A and B are shown apart, each in its own frame.
Chain A
Amino acid sequence: MISEIADYFSRHGKDYLALLGGHIGISFISVAIAMAVAVPIGIAVYRSKIGSTIAERSFGVLRIVPSLAVLIILIPIMGTGVLPSVTALTILAIPPILINTVQAFQTLPKAMLEAADGMGMSTAQKFFKVKLPLAFPLMFAGIRTAVIEVIASATLASYIGAGGLGDLIFTGLSLLRYSLLIIGGGSVAILSLLTGFVLDSIYKQITKYQRT
């Protein structure tokens, strides 16, 4: 087994890096777009109960639809390949970011906002100096959830032609080549765990001030 694995890397090293890069690439783009959509919407609706409930419910539904279904549903509309994959991944990434953004702003401690008003901060100053920094940790937690979800679904997206490490797994399945299964599965697992670890470290850094 080990020799087979070593063999793969020596022969297909470049291909492997391309797959890895592709996987990271579509994950990154999807989360970036999701953030660009979800954060502004979250900030726009958090003050209104109706607005935030609608936003949460409509995207919350997505959590119940299996990710495989979301990927496959887009195919009749968009075909296969990178476009439907990135679209599906973005759609999957929006709920956790949106819900956390809304929650983050809704749970800001009132005493701090009153102090900010009382000392004479303008609305913009209050938003950038107080609200946003204090809301950021919870928003970040949502982003972390989204990233892990996207890396997982990107693996599936190989099935519909997105490229990425899933290719190794699906090839391994069709040829019943265990070495490919282990390399593919192992790479995705390590990528996911490493990313989680890095994001957790960042989270610990940005919330350092909360600990006595």
Chain B
Amino acid sequence: MIDYFAKHSDMLMSAFLEHLQIVFITLIISIVLAAVISYLLLKSKKATNITVNIFSQIYSIPSLALFALLIPLLGLGNKTAIPVLVLYNQYLLIRNIMTGMQQVDRSLLEAGTGMGMNKWQLVTKVQVPLAMPSIIAGIRLAIISTTGIATIAATINAGGLGKILLSGLRTMNTYKIAWGTILSVIIALVADMVLKLLEKKTKATKLNEI
């Protein structure tokens, strides 16, 4: 196994980096989009529930199906994969952002308004910092989800570690299959551990501040 890695490290590493790239780009776009949508939803609890509901229905649609439905519109490869991945992440991100924001103690918001903060300041200086653990949990789930679905995107010609898995399947190359799996698990595992630590850290400061 190690032999195989040594001999084919270029190929494996390039797929690994490609995968990271896709996850990273997707994540940035997803977070920005989710942040904008969440800010707009802060006004209405009803609108929030409806929106989260719609995205949760989308999230439950199998990825391959969503890819298949959008290929006629967007074409093969990353052009369809990334929009779909961004779409899936909205459910996880918006749900966690909104839950985190809504759980902020009303009295703190009252105190802030009383001090003379406007809405933007309340959001950025009070709500978001206190909602951090929940937001980071959402990002963590989004990364794991994106990593997994990105491997599937290889079936529609996107890049990344899925390519290694599929090629391994075609040629019955167990090393390829093993390494493809291990490398994608590594991405998810590292992201999971790092973000869980961040979550804990933001939880601790949250309690200290109160």
Report if A193 contacts B (CB, 8 A). Answer: yes
CA distance A193 to B151 in the complex (A): 23
Residue of chain A at shortest CB distance from B72: A178
Residues B52-83 near A (CB distance < 8 A): 57, 60-69, 71-72, 76
Q: Is the CB of A68 within 8 A of B188?
A: no
Query: B interface, how many residues as a size bin?
Result: 35 or more
Report if B86 contacts A (CB, 8 A). Answer: no
Residues of B within 8 Å of A178, CB to CB, are 71-72
Q: Is the CB of A166 within 8 A of B184?
A: no
Q: Is the CB of B62 within 8 A of A196?
A: no
Report if A76 contacts B (CB, 8 A). Answer: yes
CA distance A111 to B57 in the complex (A): 37
Residue of chain B at shortest CB distance from A185: B68
Having A184-B65, A185-B69, A189-B62, one finds 6 other A-B pairs with CB under 8 Å, namely A69-B180, A73-B178, A181-B68, A185-B65, A188-B64, A189-B65
Interface residues of A (CB under 8 A from B): 1, 63-69, 72-73, 75-76, 148, 151-153, 155-156, 159-160, 166, 169-170, 172-173, 178, 181-182, 184-189, 192-193, 196
| Between-chain CB contacts (< 8 Å), 26 pairs | A1-B72, A63-B144, A64-B188, A65-B181, A66-B188, A68-B148, A68-B154, A69-B184, A69-B185, A72-B169, A75-B172, A155-B64, A169-B68, A173-B76, A178-B72, A181-B68, A182-B68, A182-B69, A185-B66, A185-B68, A186-B65, A188-B64, A189-B66, A192-B62, A192-B65, A193-B61
